[in-house]
Amino acid sequence: MCLAIPGKVVEIKEDEGLKMGRIDYSGTVAGACLEYVPEVTLGQYVIVHAGFAINIIDEVEAQKTLKLYEEMIDLQAEDNPFGEDE
C-alpha cells in the first residue's frame, strides 16, 4: 500500500528532454518527473508516486488531505507519546 501526500509544484524545468519539477510537501522539497501531467503549472498540487507526478488535484482537496494527514500524526503521537515502537 502507498500513502500519497499532495505536494505543491514550486519549480518546473526541463532536464534532458523531460519535464521535471520540485514539489513542496509541507516544507520538504523533492524532485519529481512531470511528464504524466504535462499541463501542470506552478502552484498546482500533485500526487507523486515513485518519483512521477501522476495526478493534479485542486488546492481545496490538497488542503483537506494535508489536514487529515496532520490529524493522523497527532493521534499517533497521543497513542505513543515517546515515539517508541510498541
Looking at residue 60, its pLDDT comes to: 96
Residuewise pLDDT in 10s, the chain (86 residues): 567 789 999 999 999 999 999 999 989 999 999 999 999 999 999 999 999 999 999 999 999 988 998 898 888 888 776 666 55
Residues in the chain: 86
Domains recognised in the chain with CATH numbers: 7-79 (2.30.30.140)
* 3-class secondary structure, 5: coil
Cβ neighbour number for residue 62 with a 10 Å cutoff:
19
What is the model's pLDDT at position 46? Answer: 98
pTM of the model: 0.81
Provide the pLDDT for residue 18: 97
